[in-house]
Amino acid sequence: MERLKTFWFRRRRGLQALPVRVRVTVAVIAAATCAYTLWFAFDVLASVPDRDEIRAFRVMAQASVLFDANDRPVFTLAKEHRIEVPLADVSPHLIRAVVAVEDRRFFDHEGFDPVRILGSTVAVLRAGRAVQGGSTITQQLARQSLGREKTLRRKLKELLIAIELERHYTKQEILELYLNKVYFGDGLYGAEAAARGYFGKRAAEVTIAEAALLAGLLQAPSAYAPTVNPEKAQARRAVVLHAMVDTKAISTAEYEHAARAPLRLRDNLRGHEPYGAYFKEEVRRQLVQQFGWQRVSEGGLHVYTTIDMAKQRAAETAVAQSLRAIDRTLVRARAPRRAAASEPVPESNDSLQAALVAIDPETGAVQVLVGGREFAQSPYNRATQAHRQPGSAFKPFVYAAALEAGYRPDDEIDRLDEPLQLTQAVWSPDDEHVSESSLTLREALRVSSNRAAVRLLDEVGLQRTLDMAGAFGFERLPNVPSVALGSGEVTLNAMTAAFAAFANGGLVSRPFLIRRVLDHDGAVLFDQHEPARRAISPETAYRMADMLADVIDFGTGSVARRLGFDLPAGGKTGTTNDFRDAWFIGFTPTLVAGVWVGYDQPRTIRANGYASAVAVPLWTQFMKMATRGDEPRWLREPRGLDEDEGLRGGVLAEGEERPKKRGFWARLFGLGDDRPRRGDRRGGVVIIDDNERDE
Active site residues: 102, 392
Give the integer Cα–Cα distance in Å for 483 and 626: 33
Alpha helices, H only, 367-435: 395-404
Distances in Å between the Cα of 635 and the Cα atoms of 205, 471, 510, 541, 686 are: 53, 22, 21, 10, 18
Largest CA distance in the chain: 134
Alpha helices, H only, 61-151: 92-102, 114-127, 137-143
Residue 680's SS3 state is coil
Give the integer Cα–Cα distance in Å for 187 and 197: 9
CB-based contact 457:407 (threshold 8 Å): no
Give the integer Cα–Cα distance in Å for 490 and 463: 18
Phi/psi of residue 304, each to 5°? Answer: -100, 110
Give the integer Cα–Cα distance in Å for 496 and 486: 15
Residue 111 gets the label, from left (phi > 0), alpha (psi -120 to 50) or beta, of: left
Give the integer Cα–Cα distance in Å for 93 and 200: 17
In 3D space, the residue among 131, 145, 156 whose CA is nearest the CA of residue 178 turns out to be 145
Phi/psi of residue 681, each to 5°? Answer: -115, 100
294-325 burial: b if 16+ Cβ within 10 Å, else e: ebbbbbbbbbbbbbbbbbbbbbbebbeebbee
Q: Which residues contact 289 (CB under 8 A, 6 or more apart)?
A: none
Any idea of the CA torsion for 607, 610, 612, 615, to the nearest 10 degrees?
A: 90
Give the integer Cα–Cα distance in Å for 102 and 349: 55
Distances in Å between the Cα of 578 and the Cα atoms of 276, 597, 603, 611, 624 are: 32, 14, 8, 12, 30
In 3D space, the residue among 203, 139, 129 whose CA is nearest the CA of residue 166 turns out to be 139
CB-based contact 381:449 (threshold 8 Å): no
Give the integer Cα–Cα distance in Å for 307 and 108: 53
Rounded CA Rg of the chain: 37
Long-range contact list for 107-114, CB < 8 A, 24+ apart?
A: 107/171, 109/136, 110/163, 110/166, 111/136, 111/138, 111/139, 111/159, 111/162, 111/163, 111/165, 111/166, 112/136, 112/138, 112/139, 112/159, 112/162, 112/163
In 3D space, the residue among 510, 511, 492 whose CA is nearest the CA of residue 388 turns out to be 492
Give the integer Cα–Cα distance in Å for 90 and 176: 9
In 3D space, the residue among 359, 335, 383 whose CA is nearest the CA of residue 598 turns out to be 383
Residue type at 292 in one-letter notation: G
Residue type at 690 in one-letter notation: D
Give the integer Cα–Cα distance in Å for 9 and 373: 90
DSSP code of 522? S
In 3D space, the residue among 695, 133, 87, 185 whose CA is nearest the CA of residue 450 turns out to be 695
